[in-house]
Amino acid sequence: MRMTSKRFFPDTVLAVLGLVSLVVLWANVRNAKMYPSNARSILYFYVLPVILFLVFAGMFWLKESFRSNFAFVAVCVLLPLYGTEYILQRPIDPHTREWTNRTGMTKLEMIVQLRVHGVQAYPCVYPISFVHTAKIQTMRGPLQPLGGISRVTTVFCNEGDRIVAYNSDDHGFNNPQRNWGRDVKVLALGDSFLHGDCVAPDRNLSADLNREVGSTVALGMGGNGPFEELGGIKEYLPYLHPKIVLWFYYEGNDLADTHRDKSDPLLVRYLEPGFSQDLYHRQDEIDLALKKLADPDGVIDREVRNASPFFGFLKLRVFRARLNKAFENVRGSKEGSKEAAPIKANEESGEAYSSDYSDEDLILFGKILTEARDFISKSGGQLIFVYLPSWERYGMPQSANRDRSRVLQWVSAQGIPSVDIDPMFSKTTDPKKLFLYTGGQPGHYNSEGYQRVSDTVRNFVEKGRHL
């Protein structure tokens, strides 16, 4: 009996560890489509659990004293780890649309958790997915969407320390549902900055414009460029009749997007007078195609069926994610410091990193904007051009876009009122604090940055009495 009681503790610990290894292996095999099919993933998700099981099983043939010491060390290590995991695990609130992401949860994991709570959640499917590729095939011919999936919770960005989602409107954009049925004063066009990356829906640029300027419908989607924005005007403006159309131009990529899209045969047709895909009345077709594209292999549905807090706890999901996030932040800060030296060297030599775009791209952008201005004027509206600066203008001046003056001069020459956000940002103590950072790398504006943009636009509109 004395020998049996001595062996009970180490043998029980080894048996539990072996069983856990097998359970983790089974869970990984069951969710194989969730993981990349490369050598590192195979080693981590499949080979490692097998090796651990064989090690724990082999220990039963070792000396009792060794097994006892190992079991004692294992318990001393694992108890604090699982205790930490238990403390870190916090259930999400399915009623909010912004979650602090200190646990390192992915967008897919957030979608699964929302669906477990009964929320109809989808990842954001961007219109750029159909540029230069197969369009949505319908009975009426190819279709290029300009928005996302309508009337669902859209999980669309994971930036800084937060994951953000929004309830999409009747046409798949990030707007309050009621705005499409109201007396719309402002129609806004733009890319991810207008889409709302990456702040809560009530603190993004569209929400600020609703409060500061008046009822606003924002047709912003990440990746959209001038051709998509012209398309948004022709597809949706006739049903809204806004007094003002705000064209948000981001200096970081809008001319590049023009270059990208000019060889897409469907998008360039928006330069033709009278061309329309009738997207306003085809949202059901768009939703059907985008929902299939959002989960082509059924991974989300399968994960929802297999979702188990037990397996997440067993695999220390939150603890490992926090650890990975900490390593990413350290790595990001080191990479940032490494980049500082060549930047300084270029400042001393006077060399500039950024490349100018060709005159052809600028002329084409001008044609797009002119077509937008004329179309808006015929409907009784006023086009206002808003120039959004990038982080490089303040954090890496030598890399800042050099086409700013040319773009603004051309806009002015066409008689289009413009709002340059750069002077307002430059007046702040540190403009770099108006941006979000992920792993030390700058991204979109933060809520304060968006608020300052909205305030500047409001002051311009009020001063010019455009409403």
Query: Looking at residue 443, which CATH number applies to its domain?
Result: 3.40.50.1110
The per-residue pLDDT for 306 is 61
Q: Is position 364 within any domain? A: yes
Give the H or E element holding residue 81: helix 64-88
> Helix or strand or coil: residue 134?
coil
Q: Is position 50 within any domain? A: yes
Model confidence at 333: pLDDT above 70? no
Q: Is position 143 within any domain? A: no
Model confidence at 337: pLDDT above 50? no
Expressed in percent and rounded to 5, the helix, strand and coil fractions of the chain are 55, 15, 30
Instruction: For residues 396 and 270, state if they share a domain.
Output: yes
Neighbours of 226 (CB within 10 A): 27
Instruction: For residues 378 and 274, state if they share a domain.
Output: yes
The per-residue pLDDT for 453 is 97
Model confidence at 341: pLDDT above 60? no
Comparing C-alpha atoms, which of 236, 185, 231 is closest to residue 206?
A: 185
**Percentage of the chain modeled with pLDDT above 70:** 85
Range of the domain at 71: 2-88
Instruction: For residues 78 and 209, state if they share a domain.
Output: no
Instruction: For residues 40 and 189, state if they share a domain.
Output: no
pLDDT tens track for 409-424? 999 999 999 999 999 9
Q: Is position 306 within any domain? A: no
The per-residue pLDDT for 467 is 58
Confidence of residue 223 (pLDDT cuts 50, 70, 90): very high
Total domains, the chain: 2
Instruction: For residues 261 and 363, state if they share a domain.
Output: yes
Q: How far is CA 214 from CA 75, 181, 286, 381, 457, in A?
A: 61, 14, 29, 15, 12
| Calpha distance 299→297 (Å, rounded) | 5
State which of 53, 88, 123 marks the end of a domain. Answer: 88
Mean pLDDT score, 86-96 = 70
Confidence of residue 239 (pLDDT cuts 50, 70, 90): very high
Mean pLDDT score, 115-136 = 89
The per-residue pLDDT for 348 is 32
Instruction: For residues 68 and 197, state if they share a domain.
Output: no
The per-residue pLDDT for 284 is 94
The per-residue pLDDT for 286 is 94
Confidence of residue 123 (pLDDT cuts 50, 70, 90): very high
Output 95 or 458, whichever has higher pLDDT: 458
Model confidence at 353: pLDDT above 60? no
Instruction: For residues 263 and 380, state if they share a domain.
Output: yes
The per-residue pLDDT for 346 is 34
Q: Is position 322 within any domain? A: no
404: amino acid identity, one letter: R
The per-residue pLDDT for 349 is 29
| Calpha distance 146→143 (Å, rounded) | 10
Model confidence at 329: pLDDT above 70? no
Model confidence at 136: pLDDT above 70? yes
| Calpha distance 12→153 (Å, rounded) | 46
Mean pLDDT score, 384-399 = 95
Burial class (CB within 10 angstroms; exposed 0-12, middle 13-18, buried 19+) of 250: buried
Model confidence at 432: pLDDT above 80? yes
Give the H or E element holding residue 99: strand 98-100
Q: Which of 54-63, 145-154, 383-392, 436-445 has the lowest mean pLDDT?
A: 436-445
The per-residue pLDDT for 231 is 98
Model confidence at 135: pLDDT above 90? no
HEC-encoded secondary structure of 395-429: HCHHHCCCCHHHHHHHHHHCCCCEEECHHHHHHCC
> Residues 238, 274: contact at Cβ < 8 Å?
no
Model confidence at 309: pLDDT above 90? no
Q: What is the mean pLDDT of the chain?
A: 85
Q: Is position 127 within any domain? A: no
Confidence of residue 459 (pLDDT cuts 50, 70, 90): very high
Task: Kindly provide the residue ranges of all beta strands, DSSP E only, lying in 160-292, ordered along the sequence.
Answer: 162-167, 186-190, 216-220, 244-250
Output 226 or 356, whichever has higher pLDDT: 226
Q: Is position 213 within any domain? A: yes
Model confidence at 321: pLDDT above 80? no
Q: Is position 112 within any domain? A: no
Instruction: For residues 270 and 375, state if they share a domain.
Output: yes
| Calpha distance 168→316 (Å, rounded) | 33
State which of 88, 104, 127 marks the end of a domain. Answer: 88
Confidence of residue 300 (pLDDT cuts 50, 70, 90): confident
Instruction: For residues 82 and 181, state if they share a domain.
Output: no
Mean pLDDT score, 272-292 = 94
DSSP one-letter string for 108-125: HHHHHHHHHTT--EEE--
State which of 30, 55, 88 marks the end of a domain. Answer: 88
Q: Which of 19-33, 121-135, 202-216, 328-342 has the lowest mean pLDDT?
A: 328-342
| Calpha distance 133→434 (Å, rounded) | 36
The per-residue pLDDT for 177 is 74
89: amino acid identity, one letter: Q
Instruction: For residues 75 and 204, state if they share a domain.
Output: no
- Residue 136 has φ and ψ, to the nearest 5°, of -70, 125
The per-residue pLDDT for 420 is 97
Mean pLDDT score, 94-118 = 75
Instruction: For residues 269 and 366, state if they share a domain.
Output: yes
Mean pLDDT score, 114-135 = 89
